[in-house]
Amino acid sequence: MTSGFDVCIRGGGIVGRALALLLAGERLRVALLDAPAAAATADVRAYALNAASRQLLEAVRAWPDEAHATPVLGMEVHGDDGGCVSFRAGSAPALAWIVDVPALEQRLAEAVRFQPSVTVVSQPVAAPLTVVCEGRASATRSEFGVEYDVRPYGQHAVAARLTCERPHGHVARQWFADGEVLALLPLGGQTPGDGGNSVALVWSVRQERSEQLLHADPADFAALVEAGAHGTLGRMQLASDRAAWALQIAQADRWCGPGWALAGDAAHTVHPLAGQGLNLGLADARGLAQVLREREYWRPVGDLKLLRRYERARKADVLAMGAVTDGLQQLFAQDHAMLAALRNWGMRGFEAAAPLKNWVVRQAAGRL
């Protein structure tokens, strides 16, 4: 007996919901398997989304309002010995947008609720194509015999929200030091005039230190962040709860098989230092929707040759981004004086290479 669905998406997170909306736009009948909501807790995460991701979310009417999507007009990356690279948006609207996770999830949920071709289900249903979007801890992945190669970094990302004495000016800032990466991302929406005084922290630290940071006195924690940022934004104050999660680089050995495919963190994870994790997942959703839209009229949506087109199209980009983020993490994790001098010399040279910087900005933004 047929279920009446063309696609069953297992996982109702951001990538799963975005994919469901894209496929509904292709006149496919979608079952979205979404787990019951957990107890409400404050979510302090924020994602850096590029222009391509914004275009996708606007197309499915799920882009958050201005108060929850802060444009990044500049970026500064500081090495551990004076090296610095800076980027500016120039004529582009922004380098990226820092988006509140709860606001994005709410908009996606609303869009799904008003899309008649998407049905939220509580149990898996039979369909010609099953897409696994359950995240890196996916249980379904192993049902298809997929090996998930995981290499832990021995680090945790510590996230929080802080207020700062000086306005951030819509600049994202990042510091590499002692093998750790501290990032302060601008918040506050458009905030014309004052430049905003709220930031989202993502601090990649050694695993043993993450517990200390999570349980530190709020004033002491803010002082540590302030010191890690070299006082750039003045005095800081903790404005939220703190959260932490383990960091890893991972890759599934196969992304598809007859009648199934993986997308998002179920297929790959990268270090967050470049802020590209969700952008890669949304690009998976866009790539799979495009392959299904352009398929031959006689080819079913679960056809293996069709799904391999998607895998080939996306795997190269994901491997390239994984190599970049992993290489940077490994480079700055080394404390040898010669390597420190070399990497900071490289940052200074990169800062002076305008054509190369412009190319990197276009790639990160998802533009050609």
Sheet arrangement for strand 96-100: 46-49, 96-100, 69-72
For residue 33, give the nearest of 148, 135, 106 by alpha carbon: 135
Q: How many other C-beta atoms can be found within 10 angstroms of the C-beta atom of residue 313? A: 15
**CATH fold for domain 7-364:** FAD/NAD(P)-binding domain (3.50.50)
State how far Cα 1 lies from the chain centre: 39
User: Which tens digit of pLDDT belongs to each residue from 3-20?
Assistant: 799 999 999 999 999 999
| pTM recorded for the entire structure | 0.90
Average pLDDT over residues 293-298: 94
Q: CA–CA separation, 160 vs 169, rounded Å?
A: 19
What does the pLDDT read at residue 276?
86
User: Which tens digit of pLDDT belongs to each residue from 122-168?
Assistant: 999 999 999 999 999 999 999 999 999 999 989 999 999 999 999 99
Do the Cβ atoms of 317 and 281 come closer than 8 Å? no
Instruction: Give the domain ranges of the chain.
Output: 7-364
